[in-house]
Structure 1
């Protein structure tokens, strides 16, 4: 009988550990703009500023719009803020013929944005292009980083197939008309809808809201807007060259990390998620039954895992609100 009761206790403990965190009513999401180095910068903000901050960095071809479902799910627990990069969404789109778009330029802009809105301490959520922006931001502001949430955001060669690696190198080194035509094709309706959002949803296109690609295509309507994104594809090889630096940053700083990865992603494959454990042996890693845009498919699941992860850090005293807020 005593053994039986012990077994029941263990099973109950395991069940409680696996249970999702309690839900919280969302707070209102505000849609704001602020001047950052002369550029109107749009951002979404929700949650009490007295709570720890989670800074959401979006990927291609989207903007903060990609987090429209996730923000309400998190805002009852945390202060959440999601900016649009230069050239994306509702932020200004400076002419790419005046100055090339690079990931270093985007990271400098987001660093200045954090100063403009007064963020001195935050956790980072990075997806896709959010990784090269986010890792550069960490290097610029290492003292501000409290924790890391990685969602299909690559920092290891393990996460790139040989074909994907060749694509990025060709985009960087080959400026021939054929390569430029291929890159511009990725900014077309066909490229955004079928080669991005619907590419890896396992035959369930109904999981992806058409609002996602309609919003993105409005941000890619002009030749200048398309050229800005093409320049970022051309610059992507500099991220691959920087992988060793980023990995060294992780080894040195050991930020608490949650790695969430849509395991059906053919662009950044699941091995890229597992590779984080080489430098962050204590990282929580979860492979999700989703594609590259996992937050479009499983926003609730992702929110549950984030709240559990950040809540544990709070209990351990590793996560605190921004003292300046």
Structure 2
């Protein structure tokens, strides 16, 4: 303090020291409070089952102390296991539910000879799980198969959504190459044994590892955990397991026919939408991400330097985008 000011105010040196100490303590206390408020320590993920219409549905849950719920919907050929790195990154701030679809992961898998698997069936069981857990509102994270499951849930209950988070989840023909569209059409309409055998081959060990998980990361395969395909292949050991996925691939073309309904939902309700899309995905291409902007022009779009399984490649980056996006909704 300047001597003249000190003399005018008649402040003794001992008082100056006390003031400085007080300010330092106040600043450190404030800083501690800010860090405490901003801290987002992950909560322990728990592994549970719920009885939904007489079937056991497995789900991962974390962050139960938070009000905002995010439901993570996985893709093919995976389960909630694909979100194992994303869940703890979000659970410090949000309540997370990540189910395994009926017929996938640890959930029940009724015999496909007596139970036909469709995306409508999967959506009914996820919706049933949320009803069982008394979750009335939620945000949806949709990836791959998660898009047709999620959009069916939204059409059935259009007012329960807080926000939509899209990660390589198609709702537009622009997001599918011509070859991919033809594949889904043939899978649905061609009932020959040769076509069924072709679809069945997509569920083989070689196809899951090389044409799914490692396809988009050939220059840096070390980013992809072998736990991913090891886990999935464990649940594709039997012919019945594989036929479940075959039936869903056969049903996938009906999603393309339903795209106009999903787009109409987006136009009508204008849900807050975050798009985090792996631009290196050669099957669900980046044009599908940009197409969302036609119907939800205020959507937040980020094209990531990753592939179809971006949640495996870049969970931290995706989590940061989700946290920032969700925080904006509460401001």
Instruction: Give the TM-score normalised by structure 1.
Output: 0.89
Please, which runs of 5 or more residues in structure 2 have no aligned partner?
1-37
Residue equivalent to 1:33: 49
Residue equivalent to 1:323: none
| Alpha-carbon distance in 2 for matches of 1:193, 1:49 | 37
> 1:141 Cα deviation (Å)?
1.4
In the TM superposition, what are the counterparts of 1:78-93 in structure 2 within 5 Å? 78-93=94-109
Residue equivalent to 2:268: 252
Match of 1:135 among 148, 151, 155: 151
Pair 1:281-2:327 in alignment: no
Which structure's relative contact order is higher, taking Cα pairs within 8 Å and 6+ residues apart? Answer: 1
> 1:202 Cα deviation (Å)?
4.3
Pair 1:150-2:169 in alignment: no
Residue equivalent to 2:123: 107
Does the Cα contact within 8 Å between 2:80 and 2:99 map onto a contact in 1? yes
SS of the residue corresponding to residue 57 of structure 2 reads strand
Does the Cα contact within 8 Å between 1:25 and 1:76 map onto a contact in 2? yes
| Alpha-carbon distance in 1 for matches of 2:64, 2:329 | 18
Pair 1:212-2:228 in alignment: yes
Please, which runs of 5 or more residues in structure 1 have no aligned partner?
1-21, 316-325
SS of the residue corresponding to residue 142 of structure 1 reads coil
> 1:175 Cα deviation (Å)?
1.6
SS of the residue corresponding to residue 55 of structure 1 reads strand
Residue equivalent to 1:19: none
| Alpha-carbon distance in 1 for matches of 2:317, 2:40 | 14
Pair 1:98-2:109 in alignment: no
Pair 1:263-2:279 in alignment: yes
| Alpha-carbon distance in 2 for matches of 1:276, 1:286 | 12
Does the Cα contact within 8 Å between 2:71 and 2:140 map onto a contact in 1? yes
> 1:195 Cα deviation (Å)?
0.7
Match of 1:198 among 214, 234, 245: 214
| Alpha-carbon distance in 2 for matches of 1:215, 1:110 | 21
> 1:24 Cα deviation (Å)?
1.6
Instruction: Give the TM-score normalised by structure 2.
Output: 0.88
Residue equivalent to 2:89: 73
Does the Cα contact within 8 Å between 1:111 and 1:140 map onto a contact in 2? no
Runs of 4+, deviation exceeding 3 Å: none
Match of 2:192 among 176, 199, 210: 176
SS of the residue corresponding to residue 216 of structure 2 reads coil
> 1:23 Cα deviation (Å)?
5.8
SS of the residue corresponding to residue 214 of structure 1 reads helix
Residue equivalent to 1:123: 139
Greater mean deviation of Cα atoms: 267-276 or 170-179: 170-179
> 1:25 Cα deviation (Å)?
1.1
Match of 2:315 among 292, 296, 299: 299
| Alpha-carbon distance in 1 for matches of 2:170, 2:122 | 17
| Alpha-carbon distance in 2 for matches of 1:147, 1:256 | 5
> 1:51 Cα deviation (Å)?
2.3
Which entry has the higher C-alpha Rg, 1 or 2? 2
| Alpha-carbon distance in 1 for matches of 2:39, 2:261 | 38
| Alpha-carbon distance in 2 for matches of 1:74, 1:299 | 10
SS of the residue corresponding to residue 200 of structure 1 reads helix
> 1:44 Cα deviation (Å)?
0.2
